[in-house]
A and B are shown apart, each in its own frame.
Chain A
Amino acid sequence: MTNHWIDIKNSDAVLIMGSNAAEHHPIAFKWITRAKENGAVLMHVDPKFSRTSARCDFHVPLRSGTDVPFLGGMVNYILENGLYFKEYVLSYTNAAFVVGKGYAFKDGLFSGFDSKKRAYDKSKWAFETGPDGVPVIDLTLKNERCVLNLLKKHYSRYTLKNVSDVTGVSRDNLLKVYKAFCATGAPDKAGTMLYALGWTQHTVGAQNIRLSSIVQLLLGNIGVAGGGINALRGEPNVQGSTDHALLYNNLPGYHATPQAQWQTLADYHKANTPVTKVKNSPNWWGNRPKYMVSLLKGWFGDAATPENDFCYGLLPKLEPGQDYSYMYVMDKMYDKKIRGGFIMGVNPMNSFPNTNKMRKALDNLDWLVCSEIHTSETTENWHRPGVDPKKIKTEVFLLPSAHRIEKDGTISNSGRWLQWFDQGVKPGGEARNFADVVVPLINMLRDMYKAEGGTLPEPLLKLHWPDKYDAEEWTRRINGFFWADGKAGDKTYKRGQLVPAFGFLKDDGSTSSLNWIYTGSYTEEEGNKSKRRDAGQTPMQANIGLFPNWSWCWPVNRRILYNRASVDMNGKPWNPEKAVIAWENGKWTGDVPDGPWAPMSEEKGTLPFIMNRDGHAQLYGPGLNDGPFPEHYEPAETPLASHPFSKQLSSPVYKFHTSDMDKMARAADPKYPIVLTTYNLTEHWCGGGETRNVPNLLEAEPQLYVEMSRELAEEKGIKNGDGVVIESIRGRVEAIAMVTVRIRPFKVMGKTVHLVGMPFCFGWTTPKCGDSTNRLTIGAYDPNTTIQESKACLVNVFKAGKLTELG
């Protein structure tokens, strides 16, 4: 989240899209209803009517997979009617930047497309620069290649008619949302966008979020109280586990994983440290070498020296352009190219798409280690229905896992608050937390390498690694230490003392930090700030619900990101009634500002978007793999044979696999005419591996069902409560029919398109509750994130004869 849970109450317009917040974030939903009590308009744009819709002023059903046209229509509406916040847009975004002549867009394709590689040459999309390398900026907007003019042209095709035809949303409903939300383009109004997996799990997932940021920037809603783009994150510590990068492509703190062509640390720094030519751009990533060296120092301790490149050479290096994500691992496993591995605290044999392939792939492993609280479809895969265990070679080591109240440590909530939890009781039975598995395992391996030798022992033997795990020691390691006596400001510190803020991290090996964005969370002066329970606020902070002394928030306890955009050039809040920060008597008050510098109008004042090289927010974003502007492409499986935006039916660059089990229905396939979308339930969490084993939760939501409209049920001769079979080209699933008015047929391009919805939390290890919905879903992935398109694929539905999966 750019903002935080409580801040939603400050909003004048709340647009919930791609999320069923009332059911999936029920406790946080109180902040949404509090906004309503304060006079906000609440809107829910989602294929299905749910409890979220019931609490909103209006629900607007849209066909799954058409968020880009819906929001593109909003951009067109804003620009046609001049509703954008002009001063904000011109001063703080790249609206006036001139795009280079290499950029072009024609019939659904951007310039630089290579159809053999299914990839773009992104260098074609660069900005125009002057002879001194400074980007060309035309504040008069007369140059037709200014970003704002290109934006206008691009979205001029997103007319009410085209958008309505494709999304299945009526013109009236489109206008209702556009009018209500775009009213927040006024300087003293704020609108927030709340989303979840309904936006990310598409082949255009990243572009859904890009487009929401374009809307929010046009309306001046980024950085302000009650504004922002807020991912309602659904996993317990998914914010923290992303920050600490349990991901192949990042190191902790949002650094790229080293690649083969960056052989030395100098190569790495050169490729990953941006240099700006814009004078008043803070270009914060210019500090990256300090954070990277401090990370290496944290990993390798005294073994990391300037002479040995701080052990950078020992790190694994990726091949450029290669994808090492989950889905690619599973495909390699299916191809028998993986020996073994660890699946810890996750149940992919229920939650991954095209589960039949995934389950078969797992059979190819020699060995598997799982750490879980309960057995799951993953741990038990070797005796799943229809499989003879005698034919499955995989050795499985199943480790009992500790529960939250049995552990201590920190998590980071969706609003980036670092929250400490204490250990209440010892782990049940012989259960262990994950670190008490990994720390001794690495120590055993180190001993084995010392005793036996082996391939490349150095990276393991040189690790700065403890004998035993102690959570708070790692909270301190994450914050970081001085490794030589040194100074921070006018204070002196000794080797081994904590670094007080990331501004004091160095690239010479004198400091460490396992994650620079958390530096400052644990200090000599104030101790472990994640434990703070002080509700103290200034009146200005209380006014917008900031709790700066409760826990701590990254970065530097800043509660609202990009907050320098909430003020004008002189540091005066756009909305004084809900000020986030203000420049008063030569200093900032309120939240911690995005950098200490003076406002822009002053001599040393700076631009607000400090993490972007040139200091401006990016309406035009030349970084993504599928284009600098979001464009509508149908889902990989679509009920349409064409759409009005271009001849390019689906994304030209989405990723997919080609095994014999990776099948896709063709466009408008009459065998699979129905759109399937998936979701979850209040009572069950994700794949359900934990909550299905809690009797009271299972009793509340006992089995798999499929929601369908009355019209579809009538067409198929299905009654409420009937057993049905849902089939995609990849699999077959049994469920109980829930015939409901919550789902309505869509009128799309002149034809009726039906949509059905299914939860995905049920699996065969819980008797009679049904089995993985994801046996239906598709292995087609976003080209930027490799997130699967679970939210839209094609199926058919039939009344079942005898049910075998449901009791």
Chain B
Amino acid sequence: MKSTRRSFLKGVGAGVFCLTLGQLGFDLGEAKAYAGSLKIEGAKEVISVCPFCSVCCQVIAYVRDGKLVSTEGDPDFPVNEGALCAKGAALYSMYTNDHRLKKPMYRAPNSDKWVEKDWDWTLKQIARRVKDARDKDMILKNGKGQTVNRLESIFWMGTSHASNEECAVIHQALRGLGVVHMDHQARV
């Protein structure tokens, strides 16, 4: 494997790329001391991909003690070459955001509020509704007497946010359930 900009930089300590090469060649100790003062000191680098448009800029997430401490563009990725747009650059603040949903929530019929629930209760409730609909509404034969095994009374929408693996899981599950009303953002 060829030496990349990144492997070169890693050799002289993370974070030094804001210094000039002259400085590096001259006094490596100083560069290391500078890197040591950065918030990413001692952090693990994890390769991720920006979750917005399909340029799919690669991102390095810095993780320390199980917490995200910083994100930046991956300078070695041939497409984005380290750059990120306003959304990609805001990735870190998406994780430190109080507005995020943290627990399953339930809104009862005609209620005016959300109630926190646990996952087990929530999934059981959902499974019950799916099974009831499937048992009641599954169309085994159409008007011509052809076997059609389809469930039209429930639907699935989403999502281009899902990974390929998640898409494969979702597709297989829906065909097993007999759901035909399935769609996502590729059509919008």
| Residue numbers in A under 8 Å from B67 (CB-CB) | 425
CB closest residue in chain A, given B7: A533
- A117 to B126 CA separation, bound complex (whole angstroms): 39
| Residue numbers in B under 8 Å from A410 (CB-CB) | 163-165
| Residue numbers in A under 8 Å from B159 (CB-CB) | 241, 246, 344-346, 434
Query: Which of B55, B140, B146 is the one whose CB lies under 8 Å from A5?
Result: B55
A240 pairs with B97, CB closer than 8 A? no
Segment touching A, from B18-26, B32-40, B57-65: B57-65
Known: A346-B158, A375-B101, A439-B169. A411 touches B163 (CB 8 A): yes
Q: Identify 18 residue pairs between A and B in the complex whose beta-carbon atoms are under 8 Å apart, listed by A's number.
A: A240-B167, A241-B186, A246-B158, A260-B146, A338-B154, A339-B137, A344-B159, A390-B110, A405-B95, A419-B58, A445-B131, A463-B172, A465-B172, A533-B76, A535-B4, A550-B78, A683-B86, A691-B90
- A23 to B15 CA separation, bound complex (whole angstroms): 29
A455 pairs with B135, CB closer than 8 A? yes
Segment touching B, from A87-95, A650-658, A692-700: A692-700
Known: A25-B55, A536-B2. A316 touches B95 (CB 8 A): no
> Nearest-CB distance from B125 to chain A (Å)?
7
> Nearest-CB distance from A466 to chain B (Å)?
9
Report how many residues on chain A are interfacial, defined by Cβ distance under 8 Å.
164
- A340 to B87 CA separation, bound complex (whole angstroms): 33
Interface residues of A in 226-259 (CB under 8 A from B): 232-248, 251-252, 257
Query: Which of A329, A341, A409, A441 is the one whose CB lies under 8 Å from B164?
Result: A409
Interchain residue pairs A-B with the least CB separation, the first 9: A429-B102, A345-B159, A409-B163, A235-B160, A244-B167, A413-B56, A474-B165, A341-B155, A233-B54
Known: A352-B188, A423-B46. A246 touches B162 (CB 8 A): yes
Contact with B along A417-455 (1 / 0, CB 8 A): 111111111101111111101111110110011001011
Q: Is A597 an interface residue (CB 8 A)?
A: no
Q: Is B171 an interface residue (CB 8 A)?
A: yes
| Residue numbers in B under 8 Å from A684 (CB-CB) | 87
Known: A248-B180, A426-B66, A460-B177. A417 touches B56 (CB 8 A): yes
Q: Is A26 an interface residue (CB 8 A)?
A: yes
B186 pairs with A329, CB closer than 8 A? no
| Residue numbers in B under 8 Å from A242 (CB-CB) | 186
A343 pairs with B157, CB closer than 8 A? yes
A394 pairs with B148, CB closer than 8 A? no
| Residue numbers in B under 8 Å from A533 (CB-CB) | 1, 4, 47, 76
| Residue numbers in A under 8 Å from B63 (CB-CB) | 424-425
Residue among B77, B86, B129, B144 with the highest chain A CB neighbour number at 10 A = B86
A697 pairs with B90, CB closer than 8 A? yes
Interface residues of A in 333-353 (CB under 8 A from B): 333, 337-346, 348, 351-352
CB closest residue in chain B, given A462: B176
Q: Is A515 an interface residue (CB 8 A)?
A: yes
- A433 to B136 CA separation, bound complex (whole angstroms): 30
| Residue numbers in B under 8 Å from A686 (CB-CB) | 185
- Give me the interface of B with A, judged by CB distance under 8 Å: 1-2, 4, 46-59, 61, 63, 66-68, 71, 76-81, 83-88, 90-91, 93-95, 97, 99-112, 114, 119, 122-131, 133-138, 140, 142, 144, 146-173, 175-188
| Residue numbers in A under 8 Å from B58 (CB-CB) | 419
> Nearest-CB distance from A33 to chain B (Å)?
12
- A733 to B183 CA separation, bound complex (whole angstroms): 28
Known: A341-B157, A346-B159. A424 touches B146 (CB 8 A): no
| Residue numbers in B under 8 Å from A405 (CB-CB) | 46, 48, 59, 61, 68, 71, 91, 95
- A787 to B164 CA separation, bound complex (whole angstroms): 23
CB closest residue in chain A, given B186: A242
- A394 to B133 CA separation, bound complex (whole angstroms): 15
- A454 to B172 CA separation, bound complex (whole angstroms): 20
| Residue numbers in A under 8 Å from B1 (CB-CB) | 533-536
Q: Is A519 an interface residue (CB 8 A)?
A: no
Known: A299-B175, A345-B159, A419-B49. A234 touches B54 (CB 8 A): yes
| Residue numbers in B under 8 Å from A244 (CB-CB) | 164, 167-168, 171
Known: A244-B167, A246-B159. A396 touches B106 (CB 8 A): yes
A346 pairs with B61, CB closer than 8 A? no
| Residue numbers in B under 8 Å from A294 (CB-CB) | none
Query: Which of B85, B105, B111, B179 is the one whose CB lies under 8 Å from A26?
Result: B85
B87 pairs with A342, CB closer than 8 A? no
| Residue numbers in B under 8 Å from A786 (CB-CB) | 187
A409 pairs with B166, CB closer than 8 A? yes
Segment touching B, from A119-127, A366-374, A496-504: A366-374
> Nearest-CB distance from A399 to chain B (Å)?
5
A325 pairs with B179, CB closer than 8 A? no
- A471 to B128 CA separation, bound complex (whole angstroms): 27
A422 pairs with B48, CB closer than 8 A? yes
| Residue numbers in A under 8 Å from B168 (CB-CB) | 244, 252, 474, 477-478, 514-515
| Residue numbers in B under 8 Å from A326 (CB-CB) | 157, 183, 187-188
Q: Is A207 an interface residue (CB 8 A)?
A: no
B157 pairs with A434, CB closer than 8 A? no
Residue among B84, B104, B151, B162 with the highest chain A CB neighbour number at 10 A = B162
Q: Is A690 an interface residue (CB 8 A)?
A: yes
A235 pairs with B54, CB closer than 8 A? yes
| Residue numbers in A under 8 Å from B4 (CB-CB) | 533, 535
Residue among B54, B134, B151, B180 with the highest chain A CB neighbour number at 10 A = B54
Interface residues of A in 518-559 (CB under 8 A from B): 518, 533-536, 545, 547, 550
CB closest residue in chain A, given B52: A685
| Residue numbers in B under 8 Å from A344 (CB-CB) | 156-159, 162
| Residue numbers in B under 8 Å from A401 (CB-CB) | 101, 161
> Nearest-CB distance from B51 to chain A (Å)?
4
> Nearest-CB distance from B5 to chain A (Å)?
9
CB closest residue in chain B, given A550: B78
CB closest residue in chain B, given A788: B188
CB closest residue in chain B, given A456: B138
Residue among B94, B150, B164 with the highest chain A CB neighbour number at 10 A = B164
Q: Is A113 an interface residue (CB 8 A)?
A: no
Q: Is A27 an interface residue (CB 8 A)?
A: yes
Query: Which of B54, B84, B131 is the one whose CB lies under 8 Å from A448?
Result: B131
B55 pairs with A317, CB closer than 8 A? no
CB closest residue in chain A, given B148: A317
> Nearest-CB distance from B11 to chain A (Å)?
16
Known: A315-B149, A403-B94, A695-B93. A413 touches B104 (CB 8 A): no
A437 pairs with B167, CB closer than 8 A? no
A413 pairs with B55, CB closer than 8 A? yes
Known: A383-B112, A429-B101, A478-B168. A28 touches B55 (CB 8 A): yes
Q: Is A682 an interface residue (CB 8 A)?
A: yes
B184 pairs with A421, CB closer than 8 A? no
A459 pairs with B160, CB closer than 8 A? no
CB closest residue in chain A, given B143: A319
A337 pairs with B153, CB closer than 8 A? yes
Known: A247-B186, A428-B102. A234 touches B169 (CB 8 A): no
- A313 to B148 CA separation, bound complex (whole angstroms): 8
Query: Which of A338, A374, A432 is the one whose CB lies under 8 Å from B99?
Result: A374
Q: Is A485 an interface residue (CB 8 A)?
A: no
B162 pairs with A345, CB closer than 8 A? yes
| Residue numbers in B under 8 Å from A460 (CB-CB) | 176-177
> Nearest-CB distance from B50 to chain A (Å)?
7
| Residue numbers in B under 8 Å from A426 (CB-CB) | 66
| Residue numbers in B under 8 Å from A345 (CB-CB) | 158-162
- A298 to B138 CA separation, bound complex (whole angstroms): 24
| Residue numbers in B under 8 Å from A472 (CB-CB) | 165
| Residue numbers in B under 8 Å from A469 (CB-CB) | 169
| Residue numbers in B under 8 Å from A449 (CB-CB) | 131
> Nearest-CB distance from B48 to chain A (Å)?
4
